[in-house]
Amino acid sequence: MGARYWPALDGLRALSIILVLTVHTHDPMWESFNGALGVTLFFAISGFLITTLLLREEHRGGRISLSKFYIRRFFRIVPLYALALITFSLLVIGLGQGTGAGNYLERLPLLATFNGEFAGSGTFSHSWSLGIEEKFYLVWPALAFGIPLVRRFRGRAVAILAPVAAVASFVPNVGYFGIYFPIIGGCALAIAANAESTFRYVYALARPAAVYALFGCLIIVLFVDESLPLVETNRYAHTLFGLVAVLVLPGVLLSRTWIQRLLANRAVAHYGTRAYAIYLFHPLCLELVDRAIAPGTGGVLLQLARFAGVFVLSLATAEVLARLVENPAIALGRRIIERSSSSDDATGPVPTTTQTQQPLPQTGTQPPRR
């Protein structure tokens, strides 16, 4: 799995954000469609891609640079997030839009520190998933790549943690940890895909029959009705969908099926590269569209027109933000890393641990996107 860039992975991000848009439009035509699971797909992608990039950096040099990883993550995530938070705050506090200013101010410290999953419902509550991912970015690299003992047994560790997180989804009072199941599953897949002893099992999931069967399961889970027996809350669908989402990834990356070609289409993949900005700002675009077409009004055609309006407006917003904020911030982070690397080179080489495995092909993939 040594491709420099996987356009189909961005295609999956596109699918993820489209699912999120369906649930947030609140139109009747999407009621039987569990679009909230788009976030679950995001989680699986993040766990897999972040771990893959870290493994390849480790294989190239014997270790990873945690400082460089955190710099990349900071400039990838924080500038756009800060802009979104400031924008929403001005609308709520200054113009009285959304939830009441009092409620919002109480929640603001949690929102500002990427703890939105604890902030309850209200304006900017969709940032809860970013709180989940930021904790993963903060803990996983330091734990799995920075501590020698954990590093040695990380494959076994994720093999244990994944089912534990899955079971946690069904246990009262600890269900929060079940949210991490698709992320941990993505990590486990990355470790298996980058090990010679287990790669053949991963590759088996890329056979056409497996790809079509797994995508079929993915679609079926999207239509799971919470009124069915054993489907008491969305956590059940989240866990099942997370498992299938992880198993789908090898087919997306390695197969030559029409599904892979569709996801790798240039337009589809490009939409996926804008997923983070779309996710942050689409509620504002939805608010504008609501003023023209109220949610739940009209027939299917009018509801589709409303969805198309949100789709186009949020994409246009993301394109502008990519040029003005997102890409410049990422470039700044890279320059800081380059200057740091130049300084390290000037002071002499840094000893590295002896590699015990042949390095995998280098990855020049675009920075992991939310």
pLDDT tens per residue across span 289-325: 988 888 877 789 999 999 999 999 999 999 999 999 9
Is residue 352 situated within a structural domain? no
Cα 209 vs. chain centroid, distance in angstroms?
Answer: 26
d(CA 19, CA 276): 14
Is residue 359 situated within a structural domain? no
Q: What is the pLDDT of residues 188-236, one digit of tens each?
A: 999 999 999 999 999 999 999 999 999 999 999 888 755 454 444 566 7
Is residue 351 situated within a structural domain? no
d(CA 85, CA 286): 17
Show Cβ contacts of residue 324 under 8 Å, excluding neighbours closer than 6 positions.
none
Pull the structure tokens for residue 110.
């949690």
pLDDT value at position 345? 56
Is residue 257 situated within a structural domain? yes
23 burial (CB, 10 Å; 0-12 / 13-18 / 19+) is middle
pLDDT value at position 98? 61
d(CA 226, CA 34): 9
Short-list 125, 133, 39, 134, CA closest to 84: 125
Is residue 360 situated within a structural domain? no
Pull the structure tokens for residue 230.
């054993």
User: Are 313 and 284 spatial neighbours (Cβ–Cβ below 8 Å)?
Assistant: no
Is residue 348 situated within a structural domain? no
pLDDT value at position 84? 98
For 124, the domain range is 7-342
pLDDT value at position 3? 67
Is residue 370 situated within a structural domain? no
Pull the structure tokens for residue 277.
């900005």
Number of structural domains in the chain: 1
356 burial (CB, 10 Å; 0-12 / 13-18 / 19+) is exposed
pLDDT value at position 188? 97
Task: Return phi, psi of residue 141, to 5°.
Answer: -60, -45
d(CA 158, CA 162): 6
Which residues, given as ranges, of the chain have pLDDT below 50?
Answer: 227, 229-232, 348-370
d(CA 114, CA 132): 8
Is residue 355 situated within a structural domain? no
pLDDT value at position 346? 55
pLDDT value at position 41? 96
